[in-house]
Amino acid sequence: MCLFADTARGGAVLGYLFGFAFLAAHVWWLKDSIGPGAWAAVTFVESLWFAAMGALIPLLRRLPAWPVLVAVMWSSVEVVRQMWPFGGFPWGQVGFTTVDTPVSAALPYVGVTGAGFIIALLATAVAYGVVAGRCNPRRAVLYLAAPLAMTVVPQLVPVDVARTGSVTVAVVQGDVPGSGDDVAGNHRQITRDHARATVDLARQVESGTAPRPDLVVWPENSTAVDPIRDLEANTEISMAATAIQTPLLVGGIVDGPRPGTALNQGILWTESGPDGQAYTKQHPVPFGEFIPFRSLLDGLSPRLAEIPRDMLPGAEAEPLDIDTEEGIVRIADAICFDVAYADPIAQQVRSGAELVVVQTSNAMFTGTSQREQQFTMSRARALETGRTVIVASLNGISGIITADGEVLARLEERTTDTMLEEVATSRAATPALRLMPVIDASLLGVAAIGAIWALIASSMGRLRARPDR
């Protein structure tokens, strides 16, 4: 719609309306899971990005090669939406929609942001054909040919990520009692159920009916207390680790460095206890795990009162080292909302991670589209990084995704179950891992130049239109 607005003000209005309608429907699950106030706040605030983009589009259309500039602007807004406000909100990024489409072959080359740019350029090329195709058909064909080539070439020359080894991984999905969304009220039972499922797996290993895993993954919130300090949780986890005799990656809420704070961590646990390695979630969920402007917003929704502590973000992480019979295998961890961002997983894979684990709870989103949305994001990250991705969830969706984005195995939701699979590891780097920072910087740089150019050209045009005085 914004492409056909004549003024910056009209474009801003259309952009905001589009952004509001798109986000309101796309993140409708926030209304029931966290609260109507949180849903409204995220939708209202994030729609401002679309308004800003809409205001610039009529100005950009007056410049040469405007279809490219508009596509760059769209993708740049998606980049900055991952940063601000409230730590960013990448949900709705176009590149995630390329999974299971012809454009998915571009993900190992250019990543999620780059794939989104291809879709945006295809859309603006079509718009150019509608607006100016009759006047300049050759240019219309050229604009359309560019995104089509970016789609076809990766399919003809796919990225082949070499497999360098394999590990056997077990995923434990312990389930959540009752309605499936009350983790806090059932946290002791949740930990016991994960421990018992792990002990049952250990019995199968001892009887010879199942191979011993190299790693057992429990989901986020498999312990909702600090398992290092809480005796009951500590005992349950240690019992499971002793039974299976394999490192456990446990999801726990660890006490923060100061009162009123917490850390959401994946903690590596052996039969001797925590081995000192842990990953801290880098992108806590605004309104879900911390309250921005808490003193002002505490009364916005009754659900906010259920978040007594603010989770602190973790720093850039190194991969976790798992000791296997074939040697040390390095694991990248991401926790729930982290998978929507490019940086946590990509940083660890660049540092040598051979396998990716996503620990998630998602229990509060039971019965909503959020879980499928997030699982699709995990599939996109597998393609982007060329790594097998292991997803462990409290009650779904738990699954194993191969490096080409295919689902190797998936557990039924709302069940207590265990998944045991031998999966490929790799040390090779996809082009996307090297190019993602360059793509982001290039998009932001060209967008900034385009916006300044458009504003100057618009200002000069108004000056020339004024009568002499």
Per-residue pLDDT tens digits for 175-217:
999 999 999 899 999 999 999 999 999 999 999 999 999 999 9
Asked whether the beta carbons of 371 and 365 are under 8 A apart, the reply is yes
Question: What does the pLDDT read at residue 35?
Answer: 78
Question: What does the pLDDT read at residue 243?
Answer: 98
Indicate the CATH number for domain 165-429: 3.60.110.10
Question: What does the pLDDT read at residue 467?
Answer: 45
Q: Helices (DSSP H) in 413-468: which residue ranges?
A: 431-465
From CA 143, how far away is CA 272, in angstroms rounded? 61
Question: What does the pLDDT read at residue 298?
Answer: 65
What six digits make up the tokens of 75? 């993708």
Question: What does the pLDDT read at residue 466?
Answer: 47
From CA 220, how far away is CA 254, in angstroms rounded? 12
Asked whether the beta carbons of 311 and 221 are under 8 A apart, the reply is no
Question: What does the pLDDT read at residue 302?
Answer: 63
Domain map (residue ranges) of the chain: 2-159+433-465, 165-429
457 three-state secondary structure = helix
Taken in order 97, 377, 379, 430, is the CA torsion positive or negative? positive
Supply φ then ψ for residue 35, to 5 degrees: 145, 150
What six digits make up the tokens of 85? 């406000």
For tokens 């005085």, what's the residue? Answer: 469
Which letter, b or e, does each residue of 408-444 get, where b requires 16 or more Cβ atoms within 10 Å of its Cβ?
Answer: beebebeebbbbbbebbbbbeebebbebbeebbebbe
Residues 6+ apart with CB under 8 A from 179: 366
From CA 83, how far away is CA 225, in angstroms rounded? 29
Question: What does the pLDDT read at residue 74?
Answer: 97
- Cis upstream peptide for 85 (omega within 30°): yes
Low-confidence ranges of the chain (pLDDT < 70): 1-5, 295-305, 462-469
Per DSSP, the residues of 345-391 read HHHHHHTT--EEEEEE--GGGTTSTHHHHHHHHHHHHHHHHT--EEE
Question: What does the pLDDT read at residue 257?
Answer: 93
Q: Name the strands in the sheet holding 407-410, side by side, starting at the edge strand that comes first in the sequence.
A: 320-324, 327-335, 355-360, 389-393, 399-401, 407-410
From CA 43, how far away is CA 429, in angstroms rounded? 36
Q: What is the CA radius of gyration of the chain?
A: 24
Q: Residues of the chain with pLDDT > 70: what percent?
A: 94
β-pairing verdict for 320-324 and 165-173: unpaired
Could you tell me the pTM of the whole model? 0.94
